[in-house]
Amino acid sequence: MVSRKDLGSWLTGPDTSGISKYPGERLGLPESGPGSMARAGRRILGICIDWGVALLISNFAFGGNQWATLGVFAIEQILLIGTLGYSIGHRVAGIHVVKLGGGPAGPLAALVRTLLLCLVIPAVIFDPDQRGLHDKAMNTILIRM
């Protein structure tokens, strides 16, 4: 027989006491403003700009070859994120890549992160803090400037 206690817990829904209120809360980041997690809109804008730049360069230098476009995109990501912490698209979107502790991402993180990003799947699978698998693999985060 079903008791009132069983129905009560079902009607109230799942326990949400362990779920964070906003992306980055579990990481100790502010909810909004500089230093907060970069949301999906800024991330998508940044990657679209970076892909557009790579496509323009590829069209002029390599006749629009799709593999050349991917290569130009990867080189841009590795060089700029590894040295500056942001790509052209990231800069326009007002975001940059840092290590989880706050330090610069560095060349190795930029290399591994970019190789995984070029596989696409790690970028579209993300956690509640909106960190893609490519960011989790290198312990990096995309934050607002």
CA distances from 135 to 7, 48, 60, 105 (A): 41, 18, 31, 10
| CA atoms of 24 and 30, how far apart (whole Å) | 7
| CA atoms of 92 and 42, how far apart (whole Å) | 9
pTM: 0.82
| CA atoms of 53 and 62, how far apart (whole Å) | 13
Q: What is the mean pLDDT of residues 51-62?
A: 96
Q: What are the boundaries of each domain within the chain?
A: 31-144
| CA atoms of 85 and 97, how far apart (whole Å) | 5
* pLDDT 10s digits, 9-51: 555 555 555 677 888 888 888 988 998 999 989 999 999 999 9
Q: What is the pLDDT of residue 102?
A: 83
Q: What is the mean pLDDT of residues 55-78?
A: 95
